[in-house]
Amino acid sequence: MRQRVVVTEDPEGLRTLRFEQGGARQSVVWPGEPLRLEIPYTRMSMAGLAFVPEPERILVVGLGGGAIPMFLRAVLPEVAIDVVDVEPDVVEAAKLYCGFQEDDALRVHVADGRSFIEASGPAYSLIVLDAYGPDNIPPHLATREFLGAARARLTADGAVLGNVWESVSNPLFPSMLRTWRVSFPQLHRLDVPSTTNRILVGLSHTEAYSHVDLVDRAARLERELGLPFELGRMVSRGHRQVPRRVKDGHILTDAALD
């Protein structure tokens, strides 16, 4: 069932996209100012670029108001960016009210994220899964089989990044963490300060990334891209590598969806 998309604006011009009046924030944007990432997890998500410092193609699953893809388009003008969202009304609202625009390098596709990833197509340096809500996890986008399909669409040095809530509203978090861990050769997490947002980064390779290396990379990106927030400091405080064995939760599979 399609959800009603509601976009509101505060007195300062900040626009918020929700599903239904009073629903959780799906996206927050400053139209015309793509570098102003308002929600903390969106800023921490840019740490994905520290794992993939020279991306050639990026996929974002979940458009919302377009905050993440518009930011990436602004700081990486030479990189091809695909965005996929299952809701045509979300795409329309993002274009009409949130400043989102397509061009030769930034393209949006109305489709189910899993179907898009499982179809044939180019390999991606970075896949950003921004389709999980605080209390609404699309089951078919959380299984081992789906994450395996996402990993198969990566370049040899690519990464899959997802924003997941570790809170009472998401009792699946332990199982999601365990499922991500068994789906990638290595898994990192970045805890967003003062929130329950956890950024998971699964890598398609086994080359080790130390905490110091990642902090240095993030700080370098902050300088080179002119980021308006302290990415290096955020990574320094929030990063840790997930051990190979995760005991809590269970592995989420397609079979359990039947």
Sketch out the chain's domains with CATH numbers.
Answer: 32-257 (3.40.50.150)
Please report the beta strands in 97-247, taking only residues with DSSP state E, as ranges in sequence order.
Answer: 106-110, 124-129, 154-165, 186-191, 197-203, 239-242
User: Tens digits of per-residue pLDDT, 107-133?
Assistant: 999 999 999 999 999 999 999 999 988
Amino acid identity for residue 212 in this structure: V
Supply the pLDDT for residue 137: 87
Average of per-residue pLDDT values in the chain: 93
Q: How many helices (H) and strands (E) does the chain have?
A: 9, 11
- Catalytic: which of 130, 157, 213, 254? 130
Give me the half-sphere count of Cα atoms (radius 13 Å) on the Cβ side of residue 4: 5
Amino acid identity for residue 41 in this structure: Y
CA 49 to chain centroid:
12
Supply the pLDDT for residue 56: 96
Supply the pLDDT for residue 2: 64
Average confidence (pLDDT) over 6-18: 90
Q: Which two tokens stand for residue 131?
A: 């389709």
Supply the pLDDT for residue 161: 98
Burial class (CB in 10 A: 0-12, 13-18, 19+), 208: exposed
| Helical ranges in the chain per DSSP H | 40-45, 48-51, 67-75, 88-97, 113-118, 144-152, 173-183, 211-224, 231-238
Residues in the chain: 258
Supply the pLDDT for residue 22: 61
Q: Which two tokens stand for residue 128?
A: 């950003």
Please state, in angstroms and rounded to a whole number, the distance separating the CA atoms of residues 215 and 226.
Answer: 16
Q: Which residues contact 120 (CB under 8 A, 6 or more apart)?
A: none
Q: Is the pLDDT of residue 35 over 60?
A: yes
Contact 105, 80 (CB under 8 A): yes
Q: What is the pTM of this model?
A: 0.95
User: Tens digits of per-residue pLDDT, 176-209?
Assistant: 999 999 999 999 999 999 999 999 999 999 988 8
Average confidence (pLDDT) over 43-60: 96
User: Tens digits of per-residue pLDDT, 131-185?
Assistant: 988 878 899 999 999 999 999 999 999 999 999 999 888 999 999 999 999 999 9
Supply the pLDDT for residue 25: 80
Whose CA is closest to 160, among 137, 129, 181?
Answer: 129
User: Tens digits of per-residue pLDDT, 78-109?
Assistant: 999 999 999 999 999 999 999 999 999 999 99
* Confidence label for 19 from pLDDT (cuts 50, 70 and 90): confident
Contact 61, 130 (CB under 8 A): yes
CA 258 to chain centroid:
27
Please state, in angstroms and rounded to a whole number, the distance separating the CA atoms of residues 147 and 175.
Answer: 13
85 catalytic per annotation: no
